[in-house]
Amino acid sequence: MGNVCSFSISCDAVLSRCLDCTIRKAAYASELEANLADLQTELQKLIEARNDVLRRVMVAEQRRVKRTDQVQGWLSRVEAVETTAGKLIGDGPQETEKLCLGGCCSKDFNSSYKFGKQVVKALRDVKTLEGERFFEVVAEIAPDQSSVADERPTEAIVKGLESTLEDVWRCLVEESAGIIGLYGMGGVGKTTLLTRINNKFLESPSDFDCVIWVVVSKDLQIEKNQEIIGKKIGLFDDSWKNKNLDERALEIFKILREKKFVLLLDDIWERVNLNKVGVPLPSPQSTTASKVVFTTRFINVCGSMEAHRNFKVECLTEKHAWELFQMKVGEETLKSHPHVFELAQVVAKECGGLPLALITIGRAMAYKKTREEWKYAIEVLRRSTFELAGLEKEVYPLLKFSYDCLPNDIIRSCFLYCCLYPEDWNTFKRNLIDCWIGEGFLEENDRFGAHNQGYYIVGTLVHACLLEEVEDDKVKMHDVIRDMALWIASEIEKEKENILVYAGTGLAVAPGVEGWEKVKRLLLMKNHIKHLPDIPTCPHLLTLFLSHNQLRWISEDFFQFMPSLKVLNLSFTKRHKFPSGISKLASLQLIDLSYTSIRGLPEELKALINLKCLNLDQTKFLVTIPRHLISSFSMLHVLRMFGSGSSVFHEASGDSILFDGGELLADELLGLKYLEVLDITLRSRHALQSVLSSHKLRSCTQAIFLQCFKDSKSIYAAALADLKHLKKLCISQCEELEELKIDCTGEVKRMCQPYIFRSLNKVQIYSCPVLKDLTFLVFAPNLKSIDVRSCSVMKEIVSAGKSADIAEMMGNMSPFAKLQNLQLVRLQNLKSIYWKLVPFPHLKEIIVHQCNWLKKLPLDSNSAKEHKIVIHGEECWWNKLQWENDATKNAFFSCFKPLDRTFMAERRFLT
């Protein structure tokens, strides 16, 4: 028999399970309406949550970051559930119509069961997704957007710019400066420097979120700048195009205020209103704030942009310029001929350190391998650079933008006039302005208008980097800028035949006069010309520079046919006799005879009725000026007579206005209604009083030379403070002068004001053997140069005996705050300069010679921290100096340079 398997199942258990299943299925149908209502409610909540997350994502993505995969997955699941649930809700009315008996039964039970089950599942999914909506981070920096800056193409940075790059970078990442300006002339490398700063963010770690590059250029367009910034930060889309400037600015501002950004603005020509663009203004105090860096050719733009730090991008040093030039010419060319290497160095030097010129000329000379080609290039560069290949197309048009941007034609004419001077020529601002007045460039709206306008124009040209300040009172024009100006004058202004510039070319003989007929401006200065024998015909000549020659003889009729001549410069020509024929120049407005050896002015000069500027500075042998000659120049604006007759004044006769020490001269000056600048030499207390008692003369005196006072033991220095525009004071050979007095006691003390010599910047005191001190100098806040020589009694520069009164008047102000140069020579009894240590923040040079009792210098250790001070003196004097402490001594240890005879001769210490 086979095996029998038996089992038993409880009928109650089976029945129970079947009943549960039936009830659950029935519930899908019976609860369908309630579940549909819940699904619709929960779905709406999920949609609202989804919208909240999407807004967070959109804001993040505007900052150029990418949504996380987790968020993207959730949004995708929400989209799928929304579709499914939406369809179920839409089909709900059709399914609920099948229900009967209050929902307890269905006309189509199987269909209701399946639909109800789907609704329950969808409801469960919606609730699950709603519970997952709380994301801590919705977006992160995408791998392809991890660089804060977009790399920009650039050549390797020029070596000479590396230090500036490091200084600016340090300012960006370490220092508290929010707005940084880079300024300099065209072609000097500002854009290259800014590009390297941009790319440095790709090389060096920083905590900036983004770097934005905007080329602004001459035609400032706010809308275009907003578009560039908007694209960088993810704002530029179809809706952006329909927004106005203010709406765009607001959108930019909302994003950038949440970022730490760097905005690089290249080539600014005027102020960019950052608020109008939408850029939050960086803080000047915080090192962690956002930054704005811009480049410009104009230093005044740095001011209008309210830059917290400014960096001037300078031309290259000779060493770095040569390295750049070699790189562009190529080693093969430089080694092609034994002389090419040396000639190439000359060519490089002619470029004046301007990178753009070095690169352009270097490329033009690449593969020029003969000595003749290089010699020709040198000749062209020295004669008229614009003839050399590349400059006219690549360099000058770029530089000319600065010229075109000058405010008006008057300033443009003044700029072009500067190119008449030789290469590397340092020109006194005052002499340049005199020429502008003589040419008639400057307006004459009021008594001081022309001269002040001239200084304003000089400042404009300096700020535009078209002129360079050499010192406070001198300017020069960069060689390439000069050549560009000559190019403008010859090509743009079509005046090639109207300007002849032979300045500084080494001529021994003047060029033939037959070529002068059409000339308007002729420059023969800084040559070796001794004779001018020919008689030129120059009906159009306006300017003639003959200065800095060895002229000893000029033809009697040389000036016969120059009816239009306005400016004549004969300075530094060693002439003893006044050039005959000048009296026939009825149109002449300026004549410069400074530093000549002329002994007298002829009566015939009264014919110069249009004369505006007469310069007789340092005409030391001038003894005769006929009476009423100066007063006959009714149009005179500028009269310079500083040091006139200083070597022969005792020879003056009664026919000369120099006879009485200056009183007659002062009387004649009172009749000159247009006089605005006066540099004068006086030789008596009464002559000085004549000047001081005239409001007119007080207001226009800028330099005064007091020589050989024989009637005064004391000069009341405070009275000189009434000369509000006095810049230069020289007192010489006053053998009886004991005191330059400032009385600060009693009522006078109460009325005294500190720092009363506000314009005074240069003081010279020579050969005043009984003069005790120069205490009044502490009241000259802008004093830059002090030169004291041969005052044998003087023990103190500033009297310690008056220290209490002086200190009370000065308050917390420090004396000599702007002093740059101090010369003390042959002061045998000098023991003290100042009674205590002072900082001297701007001091550059001290010269001490034959001052053996001077044992201390009033220098504290801080004076050597900001810049290098050079101290010249005898070694025996230096070795005996006493210092406040070792720290001060060590601070100045490397500053000393021993005097030698060559140095002293150059400074005229031995004369």
Q: Is the pLDDT of residue 203 over 90?
A: no
Residues 405 and 297 in one domain: no
Strand blocks (E) in 683-772: 701-707, 714-716, 728-732, 739-741, 762-766
Tokens 């042959």 belong to 826
Please tell me the predicted confidence (pLDDT) of residue 9: 46
Please state which of the ranges 196-200, 397-401, 618-622 shows the lowest mean pLDDT.
397-401
Residues 151, 134, single domain; the answer is no
Give me the pLDDT at residue 387, please: 56
Mean pLDDT along residues 535-540: 92
| Within-domain flag for 587 | no
What does the pLDDT average to over 851-869? 82
3-state DSSP call for residue 139? strand
Burial of residue 758, with CB atoms counted within 10 A of its CB: 0-12 exposed, 13-18 middle, 19 or more buried: middle
| CA 192/CA 525 separation, integer angstroms | 38
Nearest to 756 by CA among 683, 807, 810, 702: 810
Q: In this model, does residue 12 exceed pLDDT 60?
A: no
- State both tokens at 398: 């770029």
Q: What is the pLDDT of residues 654-669, one digit of tens each?
A: 677 887 788 899 999 9
Question: For the segment 34-63, what is each residue's pLDDT rounded down to a tens digit?
Answer: 888 888 888 888 888 888 888 887 777 665
Whether 619 maps to a domain, the answer reads no
pLDDT grade, residue 538 (50/70/90)?
very high
| Torsion sign, CA atoms 556, 562, 563, 564 | negative
Residue with tokens 């506000």: 758
- Residue percentage of the chain with pLDDT more than 70: 85
Rounded Cα distance between 356 and 359, Å, is: 5
Per-residue HEC secondary structure of 582-623 comes to HHHCCCCCEEECCCCCCCECCHHHHHCCCCCEEECCCCCCCC
Per-residue pLDDT, averaged over 348-369, amounts to 82
Question: From residue 754, how far is each of 742, 806, 852 by CA, in Å?
Answer: 11, 9, 32
Q: What average pLDDT does the chain have?
A: 82
CATH number of 101's domain:
1.20.140
DSSP per position, 664-702? HHHHHHTT-TT--EEEEEE-SHHHHHHHHT-HHHHHHEE
Residue reference for tokens 């308007």: 520
Compute the distance between CA of residue 207 and CA of residue 173 in angstroms, rounded to an integer: 9
Mean pLDDT lowest among 232-236, 512-516, 675-679: 232-236
Q: Name residue, tokens 């000479």.
A: 160
Taking 50 as the threshold, does the pLDDT of residue 747 lie above it? no
Measured between alpha carbons, how far is 803 from 799 in angstroms, rounded to an integer? 7
For residues 292 and 349, membership in a common domain is answered with no
Per DSSP, 161 falls in state G
| Other CB atoms within 10 Å distance of the CB of residue 632 | 18
Q: Which domain holds residue 789?
A: 708-911
229 and 362 belong to one structural domain? no
SS3 category, 464: coil
pLDDT tier, 19 (very low <50, low <70, confident <90, very high otherwise): very low
Q: Determine contact, residues 505/381, Cβ cutoff 8 Å.
A: no
Q: Are 326 and 306 contained in the same domain? A: no
Q: What are phi and psi of 827, to 5 degrees?
A: -110, 85
b/e string for 736-747 if b means 16 or more Cβ within 10 A? ebbbbebebeee
Q: Percent of the chain having pLDDT more than 90?
A: 29
Q: Residue 180's closest CA among 159, 160, 165, 199?
A: 165
Same domain, 370 and 490: no
Q: Choose between 157 and 526: higher pLDDT.
A: 526
**pLDDT, average across residues 71-87:** 85
Residue 795 — very low, low, confident or very high, per pLDDT cuts 50/70/90? very high
Q: Is the pLDDT of residue 803 over 70?
A: no
If you search the block for the tokens 């008594």, which residue do you land on?
447
Cα atoms found within 13 Å of the Cα of residue 667, Cβ hemisphere only = 10
pTM of full prediction above 0.75: no
Does an H or E element contain 474, and which? strand 474-476
Q: What is the pLDDT of residues 443-458, one digit of tens each?
A: 765 545 788 889 989 9
Bridge partners of 499, per DSSP, are 521
Tens-place pLDDT, residues 453-479: 899 899 889 888 888 888 778 998 888
CA angle 617, 620, 623 (to 5 degrees): 105
Q: Is 507 helix (H, G, I), strand (E, B) or coil?
A: coil
Of 262, 278, 312, which residue constitutes the final position of a domain? Answer: 312
Can you give the pLDDT at residue 909? 57
Q: What is the DSSP letter of 813?
A: P
Out of 494, 509, 534, pick the residue that ends a domain. Answer: 494
Degrees, nearest 5: CA angle 582-584-587: 95
Residue 643: pLDDT over 50: yes
Question: Cα separation of 293 and 27, whole Å?
Answer: 72
Task: Say whether both 899 and 831 belong to one domain.
Answer: yes
Helix (H) or strand (E) holding 639: strand 638-640
The pLDDT value given to residue 154 = 75
What is the per-residue burial (b if ≥16 Cβ within 10 Å, else e) of 566-577? bbbbbbbbebee
Total structural domains within the chain: 5
Does residue 865 belong to any structural domain of this protein?
Answer: yes
- Are residues 172 and 133 located together in one domain of the fold? no
What pLDDT sits at residue 745? Answer: 53
Phi, psi of 40 (to 5 degrees): -65, -40
For strand 261-268 and strand 139-140, is the pairing parallel, antiparallel, or unpaired? unpaired
Each residue of 723-742: pLDDT tens digit?
989 999 999 999 999 998 87
Asked whether residue 746 falls in the same domain as residue 895, the answer is yes
User: Residue 155's domain is classified under what CATH number?
Assistant: 3.40.50.300
**792, two tokens:** 């044998």
- Predicted confidence band of residue 592 (pLDDT cuts 50, 70, 90): very high
Q: Is residue 592 part of a domain?
A: no
Q: Of 343, 358, 383, which marks where a domain is finished?
A: 383
Confidence of residue 792 (pLDDT cuts 50, 70, 90): very high
**Residue 641 domain flag:** no
The yes-or-no verdict on residue 754 having pLDDT over 70 is: no
The answer to whether residues 209 and 336 belong to one domain is: no
pLDDT of 145 higher than 80: no
Residue 804 counted as domain residue:
yes
Q: Classify residue 360: in a domain, yes or no.
A: yes
- The reported pLDDT for the residue numbered 753 is 52
Measured in whole angstroms, how far is the alpha carbon of residue 691 from the centre of its chain?
Answer: 39
CB burial string 451-471: b at 16+ within 10 A, e below: bebbeebbebbbbbbbbbeee
Residues 838 and 740 in one domain: yes
Structure tokens at 818: 């702007």
Crossing angle for the helix pair 109-131 and 69-96, to the nearest 10 degrees: 150
Domain co-membership, 125 together with 154: no
Residue 590 resides in a domain: no
| Pairing state between β 179-183 and 291-296 | parallel
Q: Residue 601 pLDDT more than 80?
A: yes
Q: What separation, in Å, do the N-terminal and C-terminal C-alpha atoms of the chain show?
A: 154
